[in-house]
Amino acid sequence: MSNLYDTIIIGAGHNGLVCANYLAKSGRKVLVLEANEGVGGAAITREFAPEYSVSACAHLLHLLNPKIVSDLALNSHGLKMAAKGLTTLSLSTDGEHLTLDRDSVSGKALLQSDKKVYRDFQNKMRRFARILRKTFMTRPPRLVHKNRKDLMTLASLGLSVRLMGRDDMRELLRIGAINIYDVLQEDFQNEHLKAALGFDAVLGSNLGPRSPNSVLSYLYRLSGQVGENDSAVSQPAGGMGSVTEALKKSAEAAGVEIRTGVAVSRILLDVDKVVGVETSTGENLKSAEVVSNADPKTTFFKLVGARNLETGFSRRVDNIRMQGKAAKLHLALDALPEFTGVSSDQLGNRMIIAPSLTYLEQAFDHSKYGEFSNAPALEITIPSVHDQSLVPAGKHVLSAVVQYAPYDLRTGWESQAEVFKQIAIDKIEEYAPGIKDLISASELLTPVDIESEFKIHGGHWHHGEYTLDQFMMLRPVPGAAQYSTPLSGLFLCGAGSHPGGGVMGLAGKNASAEIINGGKN
């Protein structure tokens, strides 16, 4: 009996939709199955209080790949930005906030030398990020196979490192694997400025500023601000869900069939060959190719089953570090709040609460021992400033990432989520006195909630820490780093694969290229 579909994709996150689209364009009959009621995965807009909508997980766009936007004609499928090139304000209780742009920083307390150091630092880090980004557009090279394509990738990477010149090459090797705290201490004087930079290195990760790998995660973030991605931080009109809605429309136009509200309970195997999937309603859908947009642990342990994997491989998957430490806070506000020292026309920017590196490190310290931070760090947006479609007229919505909230909270989250929510609100109140009185509804998603709502193991929205040991040809694990897996016909296309997390889409695109090539050349 012939299969109805050539390829079944598990999960309609942005990567799943991107992958589906390219595969359909290659002539495949593609079915995408999504467990939730709508597409989007962790890139969705949803109502959290009557008439108040918000980007429920990811809330700012800074990595989306322009090639994907044009290949898939997302703009003609409804993708629009409500705001582009957002500035970052690092808040201060006394109103003396810093304003960080691509090349410049301003703030009353800053010296002229701070500003120059900032510009030089940004230029240097962007040069490094450009090297990193070079590797994003193709599959990671395998080191042990003498494969022409892999050798070319390595040679091109080596060449671009070499072409940086001696000083840059030394500097990249020197700082590549150390921590952002030490690097910032070398050049910067102003504690507030250091913290604003350090915050970006640890956002969404299980790292503190003194953790190794925090320079790498900073470069990863900057990779969205180099090359053709110069516009940096943007806010899609209609919230993050509009990105995946556009991806959905584009995919459907390419002939992809998408079924939502259909959870896959397991991947069907003939010993170690994929033959299809079984849905939670017991329906068996056959196909010779199955692509998982789910994270690697969910894919291999929940859908495939450790029993069906050889021990060396399953042990590597078991050891993937993916413990979520970020919570998401949503507030429905009766009016635009006032932040001390911030004018109302600045409120549409990205605002962060990270007064010093020590503050960040102490916030992180708690999470190491299974506690949440008593004084958390926050990334705050008020998307309704640019986009009134999210709220009733004249009202506002605040969306914030709150760190650190460990997935494995020692006491369990059940009784503690409300406590942590109040801590986060109190912290915002310190910077925006009176905001509490404006709150008509609120919601806090802990990593446990993120795990259950978005079906991400450990609630880690990057599907695995972005660190050297889980990077490039090691992401998610050797043996599955080129999107194919030890099970023939099974591929990965999610953030757990190279290049990684964020609403970028390249994991999905690269995976589709590998699938179309049949895992060859």
Which chain residues interact with another protein by CB under 8 A?
A: 271-272, 301, 305-315, 318, 479, 486
The residue among 315 and 368 lying less far from another protein, judged by its C-beta, is 315
11 and 38 Cβ atoms separated by less than 8 Å: no
Judged by beta carbon, residue 312 or residue 412, the one nearer another protein is: 312
Closest approach of another protein to the CB of residue 115, in Å: 53
C-alpha–C-alpha distance, residues 473 and 469, integer Å: 9
Instruction: HSE, CB side, 13 Å, CA atoms: give it for residue 259.
Output: 11
Pick 271 or 393: Cβ nearer another protein: 271
Closer of 120 and 318 to another protein (Cβ): 318
| C-beta closer to another protein: residue 215 or 309 | 309
CA distance linking residue 272 with residue 483, whole number of Å? 16
Task: Give the distance, in angstroms, between the CA of residue 400 and the centroid of all CA atoms in the same chain.
Answer: 14
Q: Give the shortest CB-489-to-another protein separation in angstroms.
A: 13
- The count of other CB atoms within 10 Å of the CB of residue 469 is 13
Angle between helices 180-187 and 112-134 (to 10 degrees): 140
Q: DSSP assignment, residue 438?
A: G
What six digits make up the tokens of 169?
A: 């090459």
Q: Which residues contact 309 (CB under 8 A, 6 or more apart)?
A: 300, 317, 486, 487
- List the beta bridge partners of residue 34: 260
Nearer Cβ to another protein, position 117 or 304? Answer: 304
Residue closer to another protein by CB (options 442, 485) is 485
* Smallest separation, CB 297 to another protein (Å): 11
Cβ(179)–Cβ(212) under 8 Å? Answer: yes
Q: How far is the CB of 305 from another protein (least distance, A)?
A: 6
Task: Count Cβ atoms below 10 Å from residue 177 Cβ, excluding itself.
Answer: 12
* Residue 68 near residue 507, CB atoms below 8 Å: no
Q: Based on CB atoms, which residue is closest to another protein, 49 or 306?
A: 306
The least CB distance from residue 306 to another protein, in Å, is 3
CB-CB neighbours of 96 under 10 Å = 15
CB nearer to another protein: pick between 312 and 434:
312
- Partners of residue 400 on adjacent β-strands: 329, 380
Find out whether 514 and 498 touch, Cβ atoms under 8 Å: no
Cβ of 171: how many Cβ atoms within 10 Å? 16
Amino acid present at 381: T
Closest CA to 44 of 302, 260, 200: 260
